Structure formats: structure tokens, C-alpha cells
Amino acid sequence: MFDWIASPEAWMAFGTLLALEIVLGIDNIIFISILVGRLPESQRNKARNLGIGFAMLTRLGLLFSLVWVMGLVEPLFTVFSEAISGRDIILILGGLFLLAKSTHEIHTSLELHEDTTQSGRAMGFAAVILQVAILDIVFSLDSVITAVGLVQNISIMVTAIIISVIVMLLAAKSINAFIDEHPTIKMLALSFLILIGCVLVAEGFDVHVPKGYIYFAMAFSVVVEMLNIKIRARKQTKSVTLNKPVN
């Protein structure tokens, strides 16, 4: 099962798959971080770990159900001369859910008079976990189909998925804290989720958008925002220094 360990080609495939799984996992982390931020502080770690744990179980479950997953690509019916499969339906519904949820989160963030903590409690722990689970299924389907397209060895896929989820667990808390500390990053992350939602809907209708373009645009936006944060921090430090009373 692990004969690939001695194969340089297999290690290259493993490295490529692992990198892609980590990149795809960032979408999960962003979504989980934003939703978890609506919960009381005492529940956030538990919700975050449950969400990421469910993401791993969903990925592995789909991976060990490859026959069923591959069957999802078979056309079920036709709409405007476009064949629609089970995978397409999942991607379209998931994309629409992501669009609706991200838009709602942006609206909530802009409503300055609304108390975020009360809103998080009103949503409830179970509701947050349910929403995370729904998107985990959508992202996991994309992740597993990507894995199957890259490698054929099941042990390579399982190893890459488990390691990527471990990376998600280690990075999630830091990403969550960073998003909470910088509201503009949260707005940027929500914009990314809207973009991803649009891409999922497009993919559901067989309009394939190269992922490289999407991730390059996201990375470029993040770099620009990092520079903005650094500039704002310098201005704030300079302002504090100038306003500091001289003894």
C-alpha cells in the first residue's frame, strides 16, 4: 500500500497534492473563522476544532466512496442543453449558499449598531456547526475530485488529506485571531468567499475557471492589504509618538 515511498515520482505527486489540499483548505479556514467569530469566546475553540475535524472526516469518507463520487459526474437531466450531474447540483447549491451567507455576513458587519456578541449567541452553537458542515461537504467534494485527478494511489491521497487537515488545525486559531484583529481582512475574506461562491456556481454549469487565476488574484489582494495594514500601523505609531507629552 505504501510502496510509493520509494518512488521519486510518487513523492512529487504527493507534494503537489499536499500543496493543493492546503490551498483548498484555506477556504474552509476562512469560512470557519468568520462563523466561529460569531460565538462566545468560550465556545470558539470547540467549534473550530469540530468544524475542521468534520472537514477531514468528510474528505476521507468521500475518498473511500470513490465509486459513488465518480458516479456524481454522470448527467441526471438537461437544462438549456446543459447536462446537469449530481456534482453540479452540489456545487451550485453550495455556491449559492456561500454567496448568501457571505452577503449576510457583510451586511451584518456594516450594521454598526448591531451587537456582534448578541448576534453570535442568537445564532447558536449548533447552527454554526451545521453551516460549517454544509460548506465542508462542498469543499471536500472539490478537494477529493482534485486528489483523484492528480494521483491514483489511495494511500497518497489519504496521507495528503490528513496532513493538510493537521496544517488547518495548527493555522486556524492564528488566522481567526488575525481576522478578528483586522476588520478589513474580514471584509476581504468575505469578498473572497463571494468570489469562490461565484466560481462554484460557474463550475456547476460547466464553466471552468482556471484556479490559478483565482488564487493569484486572492494572493495579490492579500499582499496589498498587508501593505495597507503596515502603513496604518506606522501612521498610528507616529501619531502616538508625536502626541506623547514631553516631560
pLDDT at 192: 81
Which of 14-23, 88-97, 187-196 is the least confident region? 14-23
Q: Is residue 33 a contact partner of residue 128, using CB atoms and an 8 Å limit?
A: no
Count of Cβ atoms closer than 10 Å to residue 113 Cβ: 4
* Cβ density class 87-105: b for 16+ within 10 Å, e for less: bbebbbbbbebbbebbeeb
Task: Compute, in degrees rounded to 10, the torsion defined by CA atoms 31, 194, 94, 181.
Answer: 10
**What are the residue ranges spanned by the domains of the chain?**
7-209, 210-242
The owner of cell 472539490 is 142
SS3 113: coil
Give yes or no for residue 244 having a pLDDT over 70.
Answer: no
Report the alpha-carbon distance of residue 151 to residue 157 in Å, rounded. Answer: 7
Joined together, the cell numbers standing for residue 8 give: 521519486
At 11, the amino acid letter reads: W
Q: What is the pTM of this model?
A: 0.67
pLDDT digits (tens, 9 = 90+) for 59-76: 788 777 765 766 677 777
Non-local (6+) Cβ contacts of 146 within 8 A are 17, 20, 21, 24
Q: Is residue 128 a contact partner of residue 35, using CB atoms and an 8 Å limit?
A: yes
pLDDT digits (tens, 9 = 90+) for 126-171: 888 888 887 777 777 767 766 666 666 777 778 888 888 888 888 8
